[in-house]
Amino acid sequence: MNSNISIFSWLIIIIIGFASCEKPQEAAIVKFKPEAIQYDYSDSTLYNRIDNYFENRYRANGFNGVVLFAKSGKVVYNKSFGFSDFSTKDSLQLDDAFQLASVSKTITAVAILQMVEDSLIRLDQTVQDFIPNFPYENVTIRLLLSHRSGLPNYMYFVDHIWENKDSSINNDEMLTIMQQDTPKPYYLPDLRYHYCNTNFAVLASVIEKITHDTYENYLIKNIFKPLNMENAFVYNRNTQPNLPKGVIGYNGIYRAKENIYLNGIVGDKGIYASALDLYKFDKALYKADFIDQNLLNEAFTPHNSDLTRRNRDNYGLGWRIQLPSEFGEVVYHSGWWKGFKTYFIRMIDKDQTIIVLTNVTRGGYLDRKVMEGLF
């Protein structure tokens, strides 16, 4: 009798033990059927105006990249210029994946908003709610997304501490340095706007802490695969020592940029995608079954009154906001990292999109408002 009670008691303990094990929180996998990309090159005046601008940049300024313009849900211009590899003279293809640099922040921001929609996180929760040893208090998810955290820039403080530059640093190691050395912040939280890559690297780490999975896997499951972004991936030097084949970033004298140790930190950069991939992402942002439109509207709302007072474009949650704009509501982001210069411009009121991905520093600097005016 006692033996049976003992066995029964142990079974209960085991069952309770399994039930109490910490389980990763998972976002609801996005069930979204992307529409096929449609093309309409019938407006020859528009096509030629865009083409002349980039042909001139290509011939006179060394522009090298892929360009996509879309209007009313259809691609009206898509063309490549120059080479993906100057040593082999391989021509750029329309589906070549480029390092998006800071345009990656728009995708990280949408990933966070998806998790808000799934009640895994709230915008006004602090980083310490998810990373208890995080040494900076009162830094909320919203402040990270809007660049109001005041955090120091990891690209500077890790450089003095990470001695072996041949070895990649990852997000967890960046956090460890922050915990052990507590670099001085630029400002107190929510004091003012200060653009800082650390914000979005920390957001990538928050995604990993919540899901107990990698940032890359979250994006694959919830953004890349649902949207059929066939060429999109996260490049992490820790798991992929060599740069991906294909598009190489070059400086102004066509020397390939070094694959440095900072390429092991992701979230603020690190996403590779083609112009067509980014356009699929753009189209999905108009759909409520991909992302809650009220949350997205909040992301497109200015969060930095100090920027407005200085008559500069504002910043929302992962997106720059053009103020004022003769083109209606315009949100955008640009990026620049190791030879890559990228532009992602969404003229929302008119359903117009401009995507320019370049891989040569020289020729990669373009006037955003001039490009908007090409429509």
Angstrom distance (rounded) from CA 291 to CA 295: 8
Residue 354 near residue 371 (C-beta atoms within 8 A): yes
pLDDT at 25: 66
Amino acid at position 66, single letter: V
CATH for 286: 3.40.710.10
Directed axis angle between helix 198-211 and helix 104-117, to 10°? 40
The DSSP code for 221 is I
**152 lies in a domain?**
yes
Q: What is the pTM of this model?
A: 0.91
Q: Tokens 């040494």: give the residue.
A: 135
The four Cα atoms 45, 367, 266, 144 give a dihedral, to 10 degrees, of -110
Output the pLDDT for position 312: 81
In angstroms, the CA 226 to CA 304 distance is 32
| Per-residue pLDDT, 19 | 41
124 within some domain: yes
With respect to residue 129, please indicate whether it lies within any of the assigned structural domains.
yes
User: Of 371, 367, 365, nearest to 63 (Cα)?
Assistant: 365
Is 9 part of a structural domain of the chain?
no
The SS3 call for residue 315 is: strand
Beta strands at 74-81 and 38-39: parallel, antiparallel or unpaired: parallel
- 67 lies in some domain: yes
In a domain, 155, yes or no: yes
Give how far Cα 40 sits from Cα of 72, 90, 259, 283, Å. Answer: 10, 28, 39, 16
- Spatial distance between the Cα atoms of 85 and 42, rounded to a whole number of angstroms: 32
Residue 20 lies in a domain: no
Longest dimension (CA), the chain: 93
What's the confidence (pLDDT) of residue 5?
A: 39
Full DSSP string of 54-110: HHHHHHHH---EEEEEEETTEEEEEEEESEEETTTTEEP-TT--EE-GGGHHHHHHH
Question: How many domains does the chain divide into?
Answer: 1
In a domain, 98, yes or no: yes
- CB atoms inside a 10 Å sphere around CB 179: 13
Domain ranges, residue 74: 28-373
CB atoms within 10 A of CB 13: 10
Q: What is the mean pLDDT of each run of 10 residues along the chain (375 residues)?
A: 42 41 60 88 98 95 96 97 94 97 98 97 98 98 98 95 94 97 96 97 98 97 97 93 84 90 97 98 96 97 87 93 88 96 97 97 92 96
